[in-house]
């Protein structure tokens, strides 16, 4: 069986896709990037915001259309959008053969076998995670827990993913060892909130620092990165470990969503402006050269121009290194759906544009401090011919994969993707660096 894969949404969904693909490969599937020539197309959907929902629907429709003018015999849709709207999708897109919510994923192999698309429903070898077609094998993601216990008013993730459940430590170490054997040089820890890891494993159970220590001891992966950890989960123990361990890169993705106390309360966020300020001051004093990324939401119901100005002032004060942002869109089933959406779409767009422009200037100033410094560059690829002056493209420890910009490396020699090259940073350009490899 030739398998085509379309994986949408967040890095946590990427992990889900890799696990499903690994299971199918264990039953003899061969992954192909040529979707029209695939026997089965697996679409992993996202349902976080309206734009993601539309992208997922478009991907499902595109895959289904290939059944009439390609080799495609079956289309399978899974993921968050399916979990929330399975009945509606089955009714509106009958061309799709299988819609499987999270509790039904165990039916994937039997259903395909019943259709004659899997010859042997007994696995030929244990399924292990397989990189999704087109993704680099040296940059991987390790999902350490599922679900979320937070009750943010704007977010439907708990409705789709359920309550927080930590993965067993031993299983995560084995999975990290598998990723390393497949070529991983950077492993990004992901969850809805990394800081909640272990809360459901009992008082004596491992927490995030113990998990990190086990991963460091059980692998030789040179870079571990923490993505998406609420400020309350950033503990003394975690910071002490990061400060003394170079294999945990000096980088934290800490979402704040807003900085006006009135909006934080209305969003049902656990932090307040003062506590965020103190946490950031402490982090930067404790971990040298720490890069902090955050996420902000604009246009939430009730957000006044004064609230928005407070957010901009806070960003200018605390100087996040990187920032992602999105405009609010109402999501079915969330508390905010009951709020009047009193911020016009045009105002949301204007605020989003202004916020990103403010952050562009902040990031440029923050990045400039690294010019002239030496750093390790993880090579991601050989440079394209139009990337003048660069032989390779990679990232320094302060740049996360896919979201933070890149480092254009000159004189990189024979550096292969996944190799670490020592270099001197010579310039910063918007969100990118330029660097020269050291001989």
pLDDT of residue 372 exceeding 90, the answer is yes
Which pLDDT band, with edges at 50, 70 and 90, does 394 fall under?
A: very high
Which pLDDT band, with edges at 50, 70 and 90, does 232 fall under?
A: confident
Q: How far is CA 245 from CA 217, 248, 250, 289, in A?
A: 12, 6, 9, 13
More confident of the two residues 7 and 414: 7
Which pLDDT band, with edges at 50, 70 and 90, does 124 fall under?
A: low
Which pLDDT band, with edges at 50, 70 and 90, does 127 fall under?
A: low
pTM of the model: 0.88
pLDDT of residue 97 exceeding 80, the answer is yes
Res 16: pLDDT: 87
pLDDT of residue 126 exceeding 60, the answer is no
Residue-wise pLDDT tens digits, 415-432: 789 999 999 999 998 789
Residue with tokens 């890149």: 406
Contacts of 199-205 with CB under 8 Å at 24 or more apart are 199/149, 199/164, 199/166, 200/164, 200/165, 200/166, 201/166, 205/166
Q: How far is CA 95 from CA 66, 101, 104, 404, in A?
A: 10, 17, 19, 38
Which pLDDT band, with edges at 50, 70 and 90, does 386 fall under?
A: confident
Res 288: pLDDT: 83
Pairing state between β 74-79 and 248-253 = unpaired
């Amino acid at each position: 069986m030739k398998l085509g894969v379309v994986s949408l949404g967040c890095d946590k969904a990427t992990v889900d896709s890799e696990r499903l693909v690994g299971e199918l490969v264990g039953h003899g599937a061969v992954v192909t990037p040529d979707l029209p020539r695939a026997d089965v197309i697996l679409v992993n959907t996202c349902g976080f915001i309206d734009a993601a929902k539309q992208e997922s629907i478009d991907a499902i429709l595109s895959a289904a259309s290939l059944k009439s003018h390609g080799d495609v015999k079956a289309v399978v849709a899974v993921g968050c959008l399916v979990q929330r709207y399975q009945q509606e999708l089955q009714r509106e897109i009958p061309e799709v053969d299988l819609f499987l919510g999270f509790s039904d994923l165990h039916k994937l192999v039997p259903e395909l076998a019943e259709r004659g698309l899997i010859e042997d429903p007994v696995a030929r070898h244990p399924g292990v995670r397989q990189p999704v077609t087109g993704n680099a094998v040296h940059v991987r993601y390790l999902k350490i827990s599922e679900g979320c216990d937070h009750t943010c008013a704007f977010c439907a993730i708990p409705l789709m993913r359920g309550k927080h459940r930590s993965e067993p430590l031993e299983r995560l170490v084995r999975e990290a060892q598998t990723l390393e054997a497949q070529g991983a040089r950077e492993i990004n820890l992901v969850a809805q909130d990394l800081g909640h890891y272990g809360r459901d494993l009992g008082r004596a159970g491992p927490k995030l620092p113990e998990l990190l220590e086990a991963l460091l001891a059980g692998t030789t992966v040179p870079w571990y990165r923490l993505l998406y950890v609420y400020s309350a989960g950033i503990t003394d123990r975690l910071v002490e470990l990061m400060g003394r361990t170079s294999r945990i890169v000096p980088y934290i993705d800490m979402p704040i969503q807003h900085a006006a106390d009135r909006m934080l309360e209305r969003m049902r966020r656990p932090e307040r402006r003062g506590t965020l300020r103190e946490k950031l001051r402490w982090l930067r004093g404790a971990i040298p050269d720490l890069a902090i990324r955050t996420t902000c939401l604009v246009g939430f119901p009730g957000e006044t121009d004064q609230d928005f100005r407070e957010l901009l002032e806070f960003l200018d004060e605390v100087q996040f290194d990187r920032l992602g942002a999105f405009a609010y869109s109402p999501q079915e089933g969330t508390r905010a759906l009951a709020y009047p959406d009193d911020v016009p779409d045009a105002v949301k767009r204007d605020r989003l544009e202004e916020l990103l422009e403010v952050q562009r200037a902040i990031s440029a100033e923050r990045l400039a401090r690294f010019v002239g410094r030496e750093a390790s560059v993880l090579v991601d690829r050989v440079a394209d011919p139009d990337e003048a002056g660069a032989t390779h493209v990679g990232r320094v420890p302060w740049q996360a994969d896919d979201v933070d910009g890149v480092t254009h490396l000159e004189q990189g020699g024979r550096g292969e993707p996944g190799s670490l090259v020592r270099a001197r940073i010579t310039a910063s350009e918007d969100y990118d660096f330029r660097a020269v490899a050291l001989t």
